[in-house]
Structure 1
């Protein structure tokens, strides 16, 4: 049993002072104010003078630590990626495979299955971003791999040894019957990389799609006569991932999304490439390469190629540049993605029964320490 005395803890959206947290086998078993537990003063294992917020949950991680998951879809790659992102407060992530061939999809599934079976503390499932997308809105996804969903892919997506499975599809390339079948088999379906009109998107939502992948980016825009996917995402009762790196979106676009959706339906994602946690600025990407200049990643033709954003950076950008409170930004980085992925009973907040995953912040919101399962890891 470990007992932590924390001077400031974010619990249910409020800052609570001088809280005693008891942790057993990485799980919070008890929380109470110090004034109610004076007798435990001698039992305190650690004192935390800085502020504790929940560990971050990132549902879109393509790479990290110099590794791209597509290029090396192995358990070793997952370990490297998780270690790289943990330094920035991400205690839970979903390795993300972008559009690729079926062999790579199956290898990625096997790698995540191995991570789940081994009890890797960061991995709760997998995100397949494609290949069932729109060529018109493909971004850096390779058009030669974009295709409709087949039985072989369906068999992979519906495996029961992968934890939570998220798949991004374009509704014009994936029928409502297929979406309905995926959802009925426990797959979480998000819409993205799509040029679909509003009514097609609405039918996909009715079929069971519950999320949108990187709001605004690579989707049919909102216009006066055609609300597009952006309009459906902003109007609907769904969860939207959003990349707040100041490269993908204008700050006012983020502000509009926040005012429309609120913190419980807008989740921070990184869409991180291998550059996060790596010194290299140029990293191979399929038959080309991605170059980091400042905080921007592009291919040689200038196409925006994911991000070098980390989750703590996303939180700080929200607070400093969008005017979102730290409490709401924290919610968007932890509770909202946990609820969207259906893991909120054990992750995403600081509460009894939750894993002891924390981000420790200084008064100026700098990241001081990261806790995973009750242990400091940074």
Structure 2
């Protein structure tokens, strides 16, 4: 399929697509093309941190409906993100069927079980363990793992695992020095920056200060609640669009009305679009990644940068040929209509 009259970065262009790849971007007319009539076209979004939606959760190991939901809301690739649960439960997820119509599953993000009890957030403390590279080998197709680098064995784990998947610092009580050591051993990302970690203090910069100094990736839940506007803008200035990565961190109630739900074996209450445990602890979000991108733009981040932080930046972090409208990249695209709302989703060069 070819696409004609696509407005890309303000310029009308045509895309020649074959076998799910962008082969050429040209001003010349193309045969058998979908004419999008000057509408804005952007890369499909990539969510590296999302647990679930529509009453479904990664731990259910059943992704068909989730892949369709995410695709219809502009996320064309994602990493299903596990909770801190038993090894058996996590292994079951990593072995699950993933080739469904809709959003591509690029692999898995293990959020735990190698995390801090103090900063466990909405994770189940009963399943927290110290890092073990030997144990980790049982998990298939892992693209990212969140760890607390202050735990015994974390540095050796990071050295062994980081050549094969992204090691992200999160759910941690580590100080600046420990975070710096973890980064020097191969950690390259912060998990939902600011949430479930020590704050960025002028005399105790912690993992956020270390991440900024070492220019690693920084995930941010840009739903307008987990991280407020001034801090989102400050993080954008600190890390830049090449390192700040917008995530949804959506959980089971996303897309559903207010009510009581379960996530990771814990009761979650969704009220006013905000998810909390029964003790008041903030849980994940109820937003889509596209909603988070629009919130970033509302906060004052330039549109192209906001899109980049949810497409090209996570793609670069994962090392996949996605997230850019360039020859050689996967033809995962979004056509935007009035008010920049998603009108058409294209995955592998095919209209969803």
- Do these two structures clear the TM 0.5 threshold for a shared fold by scoring above it? yes
- Is the counterpart of residue 176 in structure 1 residue 158 in structure 2? no
Output the CA distance in 2 between the equivalents of 1:151 and 1:243.
29
Query: How many Å apart are 1:151 and its aligned residue?
Result: 5.2
Query: How many Å apart are 1:16 and its aligned residue?
Result: 2.2
Question: SS at 1:135's partner residue?
Answer: coil
RMSD between superposed Cα atoms in Å: 1.8
Listed as ranges, the matches of 1:4-153 within 5 Å are: 4-9=3-8, 14-17=9-12, 19-33=13-27, 37-38=28-29, 40=30, 43-49=31-37, 50-70=39-59, 72=60, 74=61, 77-111=62-96, 114-115=97-98, 122-150=104-132, 153=135
Query: How many Å apart are 1:65 and its aligned residue?
Result: 2.4
Structure 1 runs (4+) deviating above 3 angstroms are 118-121, 277-281
Query: How many Å apart are 1:203 and its aligned residue?
Result: 0.3
Task: Assess if the C-alpha contact under 8 Å between 1:316 and 1:365 holds in 2.
Answer: no
Question: SS at 1:203's partner residue?
Answer: helix
**Higher mean C-alpha deviation, range 197-206 or range 214-223:** 214-223
Question: SS at 1:260's partner residue?
Answer: helix
Output the CA distance in 1 between the equivalents of 2:182 and 2:193.
16
Output the CA distance in 2 between the equivalents of 1:353 and 1:323.
32
TM-score (norm 1): 0.88
Output the CA distance in 1 between the equivalents of 2:204 and 2:103.
44
Q: 1:130 to 1:288 in 2, by over 3 A?
A: closer
Output the CA distance in 2 between the equivalents of 1:287 and 1:190.
23
Output the CA distance in 2 between the equivalents of 1:280 and 1:24.
43
- Is the counterpart of residue 326 in structure 1 residue 315 in structure 2? no
Question: SS at 1:144's partner residue?
Answer: helix
Query: How many Å apart are 1:150 and its aligned residue?
Result: 3.2
Partner of 1:299: 277
TM-score (norm 2): 0.94
Q: 1:23 to 1:230 in 2, by over 3 A?
A: same
Partner of 1:336: 313
Question: SS at 2:36's partner residue?
Answer: strand
Output the CA distance in 1 between the equivalents of 2:334 and 2:254.
18
Q: 1:143 to 1:199 in 2, by over 3 A?
A: same
1:136-169 deviations in Å (ceiling 9; x for gaps)? 1110111111111235532124x4xx2x520000
1:146-200 deviations in Å (ceiling 9; x for gaps)? 111235532124x4xx2x520000001142111101124x121010011111000
Partner of 1:354: 329
Output the CA distance in 1 between the equivalents of 2:296 and 2:130.
36
Q: 1:125 to 1:242 in 2, by over 3 A?
A: same
Question: SS at 1:80's partner residue?
Answer: helix
Output the CA distance in 2 between the equivalents of 1:144 and 1:252.
36
Output the CA distance in 2 between the equivalents of 1:248 and 1:202.
25
Structure 2 unaligned residues grouped into runs of 5+: none
Task: Assess if the C-alpha contact under 8 Å between 1:64 and 1:80 holds in 2.
Answer: no
